[in-house]
């Protein structure tokens, strides 16, 4: 089950699978997956490591040279959270995800997002508490963030696949369409389009998106909230400060403009 979970997490991170919202989420193919299948493309995945959830020990069971001591602390933290939520531990994070944390020592939200199995939703739910533990451990042991060493160039087929879906969104952005129209034409959620927007503006810093800029007063309030949380870019603390009147989509969109103005 853990090996299958590792494969699923990799496919989600590569934008080939997505989880539905709600209390009982299921897996669905993305638009990128449809293109992938129609064009009969190939993809490389990291070989899943064998980690027995029954034993749950911190020894090296896969290919990662992870820190067994930190892994055990993370595993205990995961179990405590799982018990509080009444869910199995792997719903929080898989063993493989914890092993990567204990290998690369992510110490900020951007680094944590580079760990397999960590997306925006998991970052919002559990990022702060796991980062606090890793950062404290790294400080005591004098360890540095190693997430930059994790990434290797993607296979050509995957790059073309990602460019395909981002380029489709970018073409509609250039036309000056609002997010709702782009989402409708692409058959995607607005939140997905905003994720595309984050990637597009990260690659093309001169991309004009001023027509999507939030209301100036609300944007300033969001910026102030980010500053109050230490500009770590996590959304949940900002939402707690501002309240439910501010959606995660609005916060994520505003974050793009705040980052652009800060760069």
**156 — pLDDT class (breaks 50, 70, 90):** very low
**23 — pLDDT class (breaks 50, 70, 90):** low
168-207 tens-digit pLDDT: 899 999 999 999 999 999 888 888 899 889 888 888 888 8
- Evaluate if residue 62 carries a pLDDT over 70: no
pLDDT for res 69 = 86
Whether the model pTM is above 0.85: no
Q: Which residue has the higher pLDDT, 19 or 188?
A: 188
SS (H, E, C) the chain: CHHHHHHHHHHHHCCCEEECCCCCCCEEECHHHHHHHHCCCCCCCCCCCCCCCCCCCCCCCCCCCCCHHHHHHHHHHHHHHHHHHCCCHHHHCCHHHHHHHHHHCCCCHHHHCCCCCCCHHHHHHHHHHHHHHHHHHHHHHCCCCCHHHCCCCCCHHHHHHHHHHHHHHHHHHHCCCCHHHHHHHHCCCHHHHHHHHHHHHHHCCCCCCHHHCCCHHHHHHHHHHHHHCCCCCCHHHHHHHHCCCCCHHHHHHHHHHHHHHHC
Percentage, residues of the chain above pLDDT 90: 31
206-254 tens-digit pLDDT: 888 999 999 999 999 999 998 888 766 778 888 888 998 999 899 999 9
Q: Which residue has the higher pLDDT, 2 or 119?
A: 119
pLDDT for res 212 = 95
Q: Which residue has the higher pLDDT, 109 or 154?
A: 109
**150 — pLDDT class (breaks 50, 70, 90):** low
- Evaluate if residue 159 carries a pLDDT over 80: no
- Evaluate if residue 161 carries a pLDDT over 80: no
Mean pLDDT (the chain, rounded) = 82
67-111 tens-digit pLDDT: 888 999 999 999 999 988 888 898 899 988 999 999 999 999 989
């Amino acid at each position: 089950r853990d090996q299958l979970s590792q494969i699923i997490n990799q496919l989600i991170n590569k934008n080939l699978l997505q989880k539905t919202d709600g209390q009982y989420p299921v897996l669905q193919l993305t638009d990128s997956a449809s293109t992938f299948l129609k064009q009969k493309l190939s993809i490389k995945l990291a070989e899943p490591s064998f980690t027995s959830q029954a034993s749950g020990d911190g020894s090296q069971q896969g290919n990662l040279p992870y820190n067994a001591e930190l892994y055990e602390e993370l595993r205990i933290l995961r179990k405590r959270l799982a018990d509080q939520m009444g869910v199995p531990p792997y719903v929080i994070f898989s063993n493989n995800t914890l092993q990567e944390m204990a290998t690369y020592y992510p110490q900020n939200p951007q680094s944590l997002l580079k760990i397999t199995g960590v997306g925006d939703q998991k970052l919002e739910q559990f990022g702060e508490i796991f980062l606090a533990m890793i950062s404290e451990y790294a400080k005591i042991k004098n360890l540095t963030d190693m997430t930059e060493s994790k990434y290797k160039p993607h296979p050509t087929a995957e790059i073309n696949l990602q460019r395909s879906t981002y380029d489709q969104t970018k073409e509609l952005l250039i036309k000056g369409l609002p997010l709702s129209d782009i989402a409708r034409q692409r058959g995607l959620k607005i939140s997905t389009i905003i994720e595309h927007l984050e990637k597009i503006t990260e690659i093309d810093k001169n991309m004009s998106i001023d027509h999507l800029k939030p209301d100036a007063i609300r944007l300033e309030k969001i910026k102030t909230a980010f500053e109050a949380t230490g500009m770590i870019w996590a959304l949940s603390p900002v939402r707690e400060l501002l309240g439910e009147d501010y959606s995660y989509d609005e916060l994520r969109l505003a974050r793009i403009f705040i980052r652009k103005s800060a760069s």
